[in-house]
Amino acid sequence: MNLTKTLMASTALTVAAGMAHSDGHMASEMTIVSWGGAYSASQQNAYHTPYSEMTGVKIINDESSAEAVSKLRAMNEAGNVTWDVVDVVASDALRLCDEGLAMEIDPDTQLADAPDGTKASEDFGDLLVGDCFIPQIVYSTTVGYRTDLVGDTPPTDICAIFDTDAYPGKRSLEKRPIGNMEWALLCDGVEKGAIYDALATEEGQQKALDKLATIKDDVVWWSAGADTPQLLADGEVIMGSTYNGRLFSLIVEQNQPVSMLWDAQMFDLDGWIIPTGLSPEREARALDYIMFATDTQRLADQAKYISYGPARKSSAPMVGKHAELGIEMAEHMPTDPNNSKNTFLYNYEFWADYRDDIDAKFQAWLVK
Amino acid sequence: MLAADGTPLKKSLNRALRLQKMRALALIAPLLIFVLVTFIAPIADMLFRSVENEIVSETLPRTTASLAQWDTKGTEIPDEAVFEALYDDMFYAIEAKEHTKLGGRLNYELTGMASLFRKSGRKVEDIGEVYQDQFEDLDAFWKTGENWNSFMGSDDWLASMDGWKKADGRQPKFKLREGMADVLPATTATYLKYAAFTQNEDQKNLFTTDPWAIVYSSLHKDLTGENGLADYTFPAADQLKAAAEAATSFETVNFSEAFLNIDKKWHDMDVWTTIKVYSPKLTSGYFLNAIDMQKSIDGAEMRPDNQQIYGILFYRTMKMSVIITLSCIMLGYPVAWILANLPARQANLLLILVLLPFWTSLLVRTSAWKVLLQDQGVINDTLVWLGIVATDDRLTLINNQTGTIIAMTHILLPFMILPLYSVMQTIQPTYLRAAKSLGATNWTAFWRVYFPQSVPGIGAGSILVFILAIGYYITPAIVGGTDGTFISNRIAYHISSSLNWGLGAALGAILLAAVMLLYYAYDKIVGIDNVKLG
């Protein structure tokens, strides 16, 4: 580590001038990192603008969430963290927390209570994954299909993905094992409750890959959330998995002949972390922002702009109409009772352990 | 030969030139330092990560040291001494929040280590509480940090801490009471660590903070083992002596059992062999991993078949880069020839057409290829309309190697055309005319006279295109599907997603070595002096 430190120190020395500037971070500015696109816009409307109006703090948007983990690690090693609040998915938050790159949060003292006085830890409940993660939304990875290309009997359950007889044509799936392995086992007849036990074994993993192998030639693998909507719109695939918010905008905002299959949707969480290594003033401001932006009203407000479910129980009844389209948003939420009859919750603990191992096998399977 | 002052001429000339050389060096120094610091150093640092492995021995120093004696060939898990060392190491690691980092590191080698360390973190602290509770039950004296400080701290330090508040500035650094190290050796060592951590990392007032549970385990060890209590005359002598008497009948902790209760994996041979195999400060593990091998107790061995991927990817990257380079030569050569032989006005116009895509964003060009090549894309639609292919039998041009080759050839084409063009411009047309007037056919004149003179351009273009191609990852990621992706895609995955920077660095180092080897071979075969960029 000594060589590393010397090298880093010399690098830091030469950019000292630049550092002095960024560290000086004007008291009235903060950098918030998120995913960009419609999602960042919803945060701008629901959180940033009201917060700026209230406090006079100027918020700078950075759209680097996709590389947040590696960039934060690099910043931390260089001793110059320029981000104040970062939007990440829960699995990344867990990783950042393990690496000591995210600050631990005490929900009951550092997050707002619900309007009826319920403590934040209870209001968020199980969604508080790890010690550093502050949940914001619940989204899901689910399947959309072309209504005009699936014939007279549109698919109703997830196993339609594997049924190339009834639904011939290409389908798009995410180029990673998470989600696909669970669906494969489910459609191979494994009990839903036993899926992670099975995936923890060599045989179970092979079984899932074998099931996926039955449709390997029919799959287009995607890595960006925008891929499946585009493939569906172009008629390249007849069905494909993507985030429910993407499908919402494809169906409702762009009026494409696409419908959603909510069956076995894979719930995932997205939320905030505060990086470690901030100066006390910046840390205090970041905490102040978080306290404001994750209260019951603000989380409910965000749902006016995008079809992701607020992470607080107390926000759910307050979800109203879409800000521009004027349609009721509740029925488009992944958490709506009609949509969530059969769901998976991304098993963070499991994937934190098995991600490297199963990913290696999955990628090896893909290239062969 | 001597100069006028009698010194050898060579020496005196060197002296005269030295100043000049220094001045020249001073002129390039800013650039040199800039390149060294911002380019060479980070790359060297990144490559060094491919062998660096200090985290294991730094986080678990005592454990790895005591594991040295452990026989990995046997079937016995390590003995109690190792578990006691593990408790020590883990306790400090947990306070410094380093244990999850280590878990993440070891999880690359053995699945389950991440959760094992994370889970243990919450419970290791409880192990030592058995002793803490017993001391506190014996005498309330042991409950507070103030009492501990009263005999562990030196009188000077105690005086300086008296009445100290946070507002007074820096907390006076803890000083040990003289002779304490002989009286309670283990406790002293632990207490010093606790004091330094509380004052520096936690920034808490040591005077009013209560000690860690591990301090009590150390005290128990001292009181029941060797100590210098007999001659002890300092404060709290009565309490210490009473505790020493009682400590012999305290309930003791079996650390091995305690860890087993936290998680049964702690009695798993795999866990211990992994820790042992990865305890050296430098490891070849990442490099072995990068060539589909793994480290085990018996040395290196191949990975199971269903996990081998890098060999295939390296081979594929090389093969496709060669194909792309050849395609670029085939397509670029005629274009460069036309450019070089047209009148300047038309040539400039054509050159802009070559450069235009070069100036367009890479992502835009790649996405445009997606629109053209996909099943329902422009090319397939046209072919169907012309009746060349049936509508249910469209060509698969994307999400495979074909897609990658087409898109990358297009993207890299300017890098082939430009050097070729500038070399061909320097070839005199008179040579061709001379050849023809001497009776050569068009082909002979081209092949024997023109082509050899354009080879340096092909060489330069090929080096550029090939080296750029093997490092590409955006284009293969978008149009390559599963069998058109490159090794760089895996490097990108390990750098930004799995955070396995060591493996990413090892893959990068192998790629770098391969390029340098090819460059060396090229220099030997073709000669690098024969490469011309213009």
* Enclosing H/E stretch for B426: none
pLDDT at A272: 97
A239-243 and A58-62 strand pairing: unpaired
pLDDT at B491: 94
Cβ-count burial A222-247 (b if 16+ within 10 Å, e if not)? beebebbbbbbeebbbbbbbbbbbbb
Contact call for residues B121 and B99 (beta carbons, < 8 A): yes
pLDDT at B534: 56
* Chain A contact set for B100 (CB, 8 A): 97-100
Cβ separation of A363 and B309 shorter than 8 Å?
Answer: yes
Query: Any CB–CB contact under 8 A between A206 and chain B?
Result: yes
Cβ separation of A3 and B498 shorter than 8 Å?
Answer: no
Nearest-Cα distance to chain B for A211, in Å, is 16
Provide the 3-class DSSP secondary structure of residue B422: helix
Cβ-based neighbours of B192, under 8 Å, separated by 6 or more: B174, B176
pLDDT at B80: 92
Contact call for residues B208 and B229 (beta carbons, < 8 A): no
Contact call for residues B492 and B411 (beta carbons, < 8 A): no
Cβ separation of A99 and B118 shorter than 8 Å?
Answer: no
- For A98, the closest of B101, B482, B498 (CB atoms) is B101
Query: Any CB–CB contact under 8 A between B97 and chain A?
Result: yes
C-alpha B259: how far from chain center: 32
pLDDT at A146: 96
Cβ separation of A367 and B114 shorter than 8 Å?
Answer: no
Cβ-based neighbours of B117, under 8 Å, separated by 6 or more: B99, B100, B102, B103, B106
Tens-digit pLDDT profile for chain A (368 aa)?
454 555 455 444 444 444 444 444 446 899 999 998 889 999 999 999 999 999 999 999 999 998 899 999 999 988 999 999 999 999 999 989 988 999 999 999 999 999 999 999 999 998 999 899 999 999 999 999 999 999 889 999 999 999 999 999 999 999 999 999 999 999 999 999 999 999 999 999 999 999 999 999 999 999 888 899 999 999 999 999 999 999 998 999 899 999 999 999 999 999 999 999 999 999 999 999 999 999 999 999 999 999 999 999 999 889 889 988 889 998 899 988 899 899 988 888 899 899 999 999 999 999 88
Provide the 3-class DSSP secondary structure of residue B369: helix
Cβ separation of B100 and A365 shorter than 8 Å?
Answer: no
Give the span between the Cα atoms of B433 and B304, in whole angstroms.
Answer: 64
* Chain B contact set for A367 (CB, 8 A): 309, 312-313, 316, 482-483, 485
pLDDT at B525: 80
Q: From residue B360, how far is each of B335, B348, B405, B440, B453 by CA, in Å?
A: 20, 18, 19, 43, 32
Cβ separation of B374 and A236 shorter than 8 Å?
Answer: yes
Cβ separation of B312 and A368 shorter than 8 Å?
Answer: yes
Cβ separation of A98 and B490 shorter than 8 Å?
Answer: no
For the entire predicted model, the pTM comes to: 0.88
Cβ separation of B312 and A236 shorter than 8 Å?
Answer: no
Query: Any CB–CB contact under 8 A between A304 and chain B?
Result: no
Cβ separation of A3 and B495 shorter than 8 Å?
Answer: no
Q: From residue A70, how far is each of A65, A73, B109, B493, B496 by CA, in Å?
A: 10, 5, 20, 10, 5
Cβ separation of B37 and A11 shorter than 8 Å?
Answer: yes
CB within 8 Å of chain A, chain B residues 114-173? 114-115, 118
CA atoms A128, A132, A136, A140: torsion sign: negative
pLDDT at B497: 86
Give the span between the Cα atoms of B478 and B469, in whole angstroms.
Answer: 15
Supply the DSSP symbol for B171.
Answer: P
* Chain A contact set for B115 (CB, 8 A): 349, 352-353
pLDDT at A21: 44
pLDDT at A198: 96
pLDDT at B532: 66
- pLDDT, mean of each 10-residue run, chain B (534 residues): 78 86 92 91 91 95 92 84 94 91 93 92 86 90 86 85 77 84 87 89 82 90 82 77 86 92 93 93 95 89 91 95 97 95 91 88 91 92 93 89 94 93 91 93 93 91 92 90 90 90 95 90 79 63
Supply the DSSP symbol for B228.
Answer: -
Cβ separation of B483 and A349 shorter than 8 Å?
Answer: no
- For A10, the closest of B37, B103, B483 (CB atoms) is B37
Cβ separation of B42 and A7 shorter than 8 Å?
Answer: yes
- For A366, the closest of B375, B482, B496 (CB atoms) is B482
pLDDT at A167: 94
CB atoms closer than 10 angstroms to residue B124: 25
* Chain B contact set for A359 (CB, 8 A): 498
Supply the DSSP symbol for A33.
Answer: E
* Chain A contact set for B504 (CB, 8 A): none
CB within 8 Å of chain A, chain B residues 5-34? 33-34
Residue A73 has φ and ψ, to the nearest 5°, of -65, -45
Contact call for residues A177 and A278 (beta carbons, < 8 A): no
Q: In terms of DSSP H, where are the helices of B36-154?
A: 41-48, 54-59, 61-67, 80-95, 99-107, 113-138, 145-152
* ipTM metric: 0.86
Query: Any CB–CB contact under 8 A between A255 and chain B?
Result: no
Cβ-based neighbours of B467, under 8 Å, separated by 6 or more: B515
* Chain A contact set for B375 (CB, 8 A): 170, 236
Give the span between the Cα atoms of B72 and B56, in whole angstroms.
Answer: 18
* Chain A contact set for B497 (CB, 8 A): 69-70
Cβ separation of A98 and B114 shorter than 8 Å?
Answer: yes
